[in-house]
Structure 1
Amino acid sequence: MKNLILSTATLALVGSAAFADSHSVVRMGTEGAYAPYNFINDAGEVDGFEIELGNELCARAELTCEWVTNEWDSIIPNLVSGNYDTIIAGMSITAERDEVIDFTQDYYPPTESVYVALSEDADLMGVVAAQTSTIQAGYVAESGATLLEFATGDETIAAVRNGEAEAVFADLDFLLPYTDEPDLMLVGEGVPLGGGIGLGIRESDTELREKFDAAITSMKEDGSLNALLIKWFGEETATY
Structure 2
Amino acid sequence: MKKLILTASLLAIAAGAASAQDVVRMGTEAAYPPYNFINDQGEIAGFERDLGDEMCARAQLTCEWVINDWDSIIPNLTSGNYDTIIAGMSITEEREAIVDFTQAYFPPASSLFMGMSEDFTLAGAVVAAQTNTIQAGYIAASGATLIEFATPDETVAAVRNGEADAVFADSDYLLPIANEDADLMIVGEPVQLGGGVGMALREGDARREAFDAAITSMKADGTLNALILQWFGPDAATF
- Structure 1 moving runs of 4+ over 2 Å: 19-24, 122-125
CA deviation digits over 1:110-169, x for unaligned, max 9?
011110001111343321111111121111122111111111111010000011011001
Supply the distance in 1 between the matched residues of 2:231 and 2:25 (Cα, whole angstroms): 23
Greater shift in the superposed pair: 197-206 or 117-126: 117-126
Relative to its length, the structure with more helix (as a share) is 2
How many residues were matched structurally?
221
* Corresponding letter in the other structure for 2:196: G
Supply the distance in 2 between the matched residues of 1:132 and 1:92 (Cα, whole angstroms): 14
Please give the TM-score of this superposition, normalised by the length of structure 1.
0.89
Give RMSD over aligned pairs. 1.5
Supply the distance in 2 between the matched residues of 1:60 and 1:237 (Cα, whole angstroms): 24
Q: Tell me, what secondary structure is at the counterpart of 1:108?
A: coil
Alignment match, 2:140 = 141
Supply the distance in 2 between the matched residues of 1:20 and 1:97 (Cα, whole angstroms): 31
Higher RCO (CA < 8 A, seq sep 6+): 1
Supply the distance in 2 between the matched residues of 1:190 and 1:112 (Cα, whole angstroms): 6
Supply the distance in 1 between the matched residues of 2:49 and 2:228 (Cα, whole angstroms): 12
Determine if contact 1:124/1:166 at 8 Å carries over to the other structure. no
Q: Percent identity?
A: 68
- Shift of the 20–163 alpha-carbon distance from structure 1 to 2, 3 Å rule, reads farther
Structure 2: 5+ residue stretches without partners: 1-16
Supply the distance in 1 between the matched residues of 2:98 and 2:155 (Cα, whole angstroms): 28
1:199 aligns with 2:215: no
Greater shift in the superposed pair: 121-130 or 24-33: 121-130
* Corresponding letter in the other structure for 1:190: P
CA deviation digits over 1:162-202, x for unaligned, max 9?
11011001111111111112111111100111111111011
Please give the TM-score of this superposition, normalised by the length of structure 2.
0.89
* Corresponding letter in the other structure for 1:196: G
Supply the distance in 1 between the matched residues of 2:132 and 2:94 (Cα, whole angstroms): 13
Determine if contact 1:123/1:166 at 8 Å carries over to the other structure. no
1:202-213 alignment runs, 5 A limit: 202-206=202-206, 208-213=207-212
Supply the distance in 2 between the matched residues of 1:39 and 1:23 (Cα, whole angstroms): 27
* Corresponding letter in the other structure for 1:136: Q
CA deviation digits over 1:55-93, x for unaligned, max 9?
011111111111001011111111111110110000111
Structure of greater Rg: 2
Supply the distance in 2 between the matched residues of 1:99 and 1:174 (Cα, whole angstroms): 27
Supply the distance in 1 between the matched residues of 2:232 and 2:199 (Cα, whole angstroms): 19
* Corresponding letter in the other structure for 1:185: M
Alignment match, 1:58 = 56
* Corresponding letter in the other structure for 2:72: S
- Quick one: which of 104, 112, 125 aligns to 1:114? 112
Displacement after TM superposition at 1:23 (Å): 3.1
Displacement after TM superposition at 1:204 (Å): 2.4
* Corresponding letter in the other structure for 1:192: Q
Determine if contact 2:23/2:64 at 8 Å carries over to the other structure. yes
Supply the distance in 1 between the matched residues of 2:68 and 2:230 (Cα, whole angstroms): 25
Alignment match, 1:85 = 83
Determine if contact 1:36/1:48 at 8 Å carries over to the other structure. yes
CA deviation digits over 1:204-225, x for unaligned, max 9?
212x101101110110000010
Supply the distance in 2 between the matched residues of 1:198 and 1:20 (Cα, whole angstroms): 27
Alignment match, 1:153 = 152
